[in-house]
Chains A and B, each alone.
Chain A
Amino acid sequence: MFKILKYSFYDLARSRWSYIYFLFYLILALVLLFLNNDLSKAVITLMNVIIILVPLIGTIFGVMYYYNSREFTELLLAQPIKRSSIFLGQYLGIALSLSFSLLFGIGIPFVIYGLFNSGAIWDFSLLLLTGVFLTFIFVAIAFTISLNNENKIKGFGYAVLMWLFLAVIYDGIFLMSLVIFEDYPLDKLSLLGTMLNPIDLSRTLILLKLDISALLGYTGAVFKQFFGRQLGLFTSIFVLCLWTVIPVLRILYKARSKDF
């Protein structure tokens, strides 16, 4: 598996897009940190960008990589390598290379800014942690979708729809349901609703940490009320882990029975 991971990683590390992605974060973080006086505002803006952009890029990279490397995959399948190693290796290769772009792109400006001397280091670490989680989650979901769809266009379409649903439409439905059922106690429903969407969950997690959950309104307040700060953090991280592990298991399951 590690050999496959190595080659997938090198392959992507040479790709122009990895650098564009890295430079984008680098510039974004530099601008936000040095042209902004308030560190916590900078973190929130970064969060808003990360929470939408990381899933989108993870989805698109995951789908494109899968379809583009089909021939390579077939070549590997005839070699004495386990199927699970091939797909897991490729998955980790993409997820890690995207994560590195994110970590370095945002990490370098923060180090220059003097992060290690500031109290914001934990907020910042959490931001990166959720960013990495979202990368792993969405690459895994994208891989699952592409494994299930032989047709490139269909696979791409479903993957983008999935992103659109989780990033935009879900929130809309969530909000509508809160408005429609406002006469009922909705704490548990909204809590569940947040758990079921990794993007919402990440957002809540960071806002809880920043202690400005009132800004987000309902979900944040509910989370705080239910879990208190520590427990909420651990529960969220646990659910994010589930969000990563389940699609990965699905990849392994599907890869075992697929014909090439």
Chain B
Amino acid sequence: MIEVVGLCKQFNRNVVLSDLNLHIAEQGIFAILGPNGSGKTTLIKSILSMVIPDKGSIRVAGMDVKKSSDYRKQIDYLPQIANFPSNLKVKELIRMIKDLRGKTEKDQQLIEQFGLQPYLDAKLGNLSGGTKQKVNILLTFMFDSPILILDEPSTGLDPLALIQLKELILQEKQKGKTILITSHIMSFVEEMTDEIVFLLEGNIHFKGDIQTLKKDTGQSDLEHAIAALLEKNHV
């Protein structure tokens, strides 16, 4: 589904990604992990063409991302920081995104699920961080695209909403979608994901399932296994 070849990107003199290759062919949930500044968001934004790579090529569902914007119909993206135009009402934003992307009936169900009815007439600027994130999730999940990219999806959510989010992600997985997630919460990653892609200093240092990672590093839980990966590479 997603094929990244020889991706390089630097911001001014700061090299963020250097010759990164990533091939995700199958369905399932993939976690992109790595310390702060390892290039997770840059990788995701490159796949979405929000960041223009210096070198390398990216293909999504067989389409070259440089050639056309149509491939983004295949992707639902949850951005890391939910910033919306503040003078717009929630329902206006939903209507607008529907207008831009096409019809969907799923929004009603999601509004109920996340208890967003009381906020529909509120301006986005007046919402709390968690409620904004719920709107963010709603906008992402209301379309049925084969690829889901979630950048720190659990930020700011209360426990109930977090459980609902997990259910939602698993439902999408059942449908046979490819799901990319970044997160700093290891328990969330361990619970949800099939495979881990570990980024360090702009390159992939590990790609495989959690069991293999634990075995390779000789650790019993994921948090320590990741820490061991980091230590090994810093020595």
Contact = CB atoms under 8 A, between A and B. Distances in A.
A117 interface: no
A3 B97 contact: no
Interface string A66-85: 00111110111111111100
B205 interface: no
27 contacts: A7-B96, A11-B85, A11-B87, A14-B87, A15-B87, A68-B85, A71-B83, A71-B85, A72-B84, A72-B85, A75-B79, A76-B100, A77-B48, A78-B50, A78-B72, A78-B75, A78-B79, A79-B72, A79-B97, A79-B100, A80-B70, A80-B72, A81-B69, A256-B52, A257-B52, A260-B50, A260-B51
Contacts of B96: 7
Interface size class of B (residues with CB under 8 A): 20 to 34
Contact of B69 (A7, A14, A83): A83
A259 B52 contact: yes
A69 B72 contact: no
A240 B11 CA distance: 37
A190 to B, nearest CB: 43
A7 B11 CA distance: 32
Interface in A244-258: 256-258
Contact of A260 (B45, B73, B84, B99): B45
Contacts of A15: 87
B101 interface: yes
Contacts of A78: 48, 50, 72, 75, 77, 79
A16 B49 CA distance: 35
A5 to B, nearest CB: 12
B90 to A, nearest CB: 14
Question: Which 8 A-B residue pairs are closest in the complex by CB-CB distance?
Answer: A71-B83, A80-B72, A72-B85, A78-B77, A80-B73, A259-B51, A260-B50, A82-B69
Interface of B: 11, 45, 48-52, 69-73, 75, 77, 79, 83-85, 87-88, 96-97, 99-101
A69 to B, nearest CB: 6
Contacts of A71: 83-85
Contacts of A75: 79, 84-85, 97
Contacts of A69: 85
Interface in A1-58: 3, 7, 11, 14-15
Given A81-B72, A259-B45, A260-B51, 11 more contacts: A72-B84, A74-B83, A75-B79, A78-B50, A78-B72, A78-B75, A78-B79, A79-B100, A79-B101, A80-B71, A259-B52
Contacts of A74: 50, 79, 83
A68 B181 CA distance: 29
Nearest to B76: A78
B154 to A, nearest CB: 19
A3 B100 contact: yes
B50 to A, nearest CB: 5
Contacts of B11: 259
B134 to A, nearest CB: 16
Contacts of B85: 11, 68-69, 71-72, 75
Contacts of A3: 99-100
Most chain-B Cβ atoms within 10 A of its Cβ — which of A78, A82, A256? A78
A72 B82 CA distance: 10
A179 B96 CA distance: 58
Contacts of A80: 69-73, 101
